[in-house]
């Protein structure tokens, strides 16, 4: 089956996929129809959470290596300044800039409440969905 979707994934989706092999995040991350995309800031966040929660870093690195990785050139400080109007949690601004830079139409996250979804959709054409809702959409196509 061909790959149909390029999705920027929030780090919480990767962490969730490491915690449960039966959940939507795991299915999304391991789907052959999806190219999961991360930025360098997401990778750092994933590794930090793994260390804090004592999650196996080798498993995290395996998932990270299977994702398409991209580099966001502005500093994290500049990213937070430029994209602060798109999120309620300034620490998630890098997710928005990553999705925009990757030119995706979907962003998968469990932190829906952190993002101004309508503004992001209007300004960038990016739809923000939870992994389960994205999988449901994907299955309908």
pLDDT of residue 2: 61
Rounded to an integer, the average pLDDT of 27-54 is 96
DSSP for 76-117 reads HHHHHHHTGGGBSSGGGHHHHHHHHHHT-SEEE-S-GGGB-H
For residue 54, give the DSSP letter: T
Q: How many domains does the chain have?
A: 1
Q: What pLDDT, in 10s, does the model give residues 87-117? A: 999 999 999 999 999 999 999 999 999 999 9
Rounded to an integer, the average pLDDT of 28-50 is 96
pLDDT of 1 strictly over 60: no
Q: Which residues contact 117 (CB under 8 A, 6 or more apart)?
A: 127, 128
Asked whether 36 and 7 are in contact (CB, 8 A), the reply is yes
Q: Residue 17's domain is classified under what CATH number?
A: 3.40.50.1010
Question: What is the domain range of residue 18?
Answer: 5-140
pLDDT of 65 strictly over 60: yes
Q: What is the pTM of this model?
A: 0.93
């Amino acid at each position: 089956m061909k790959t149909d979707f390029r999705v920027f994934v929030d780090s919480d989706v990767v962490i969730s996929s490491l915690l449960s092999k039966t959940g939507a995040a795991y299915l999304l991350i391991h789907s052959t129809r999806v190219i999961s995309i991360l930025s360098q800031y997401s990778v750092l966040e994933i590794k930090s959470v793994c260390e804090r929660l004592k999650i196996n870093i080798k498993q995290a690195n395996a998932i990270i290596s299977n994702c398409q990785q991209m580099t966001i050139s502005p500093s994290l400080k500049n990213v937070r300044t430029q994209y602060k109007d798109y999120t309620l949690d300034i620490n998630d601004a890098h997710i928005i800039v990553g999705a925009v830079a990757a030119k995706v139409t979907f962003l998968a996250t469990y932190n829906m409440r952190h993002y101004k979804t309508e503004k992001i959709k209007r300004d960038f054409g990016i739809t923000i969905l939870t992994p389960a809702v994205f999988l449901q959409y994907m299955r309908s196509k």
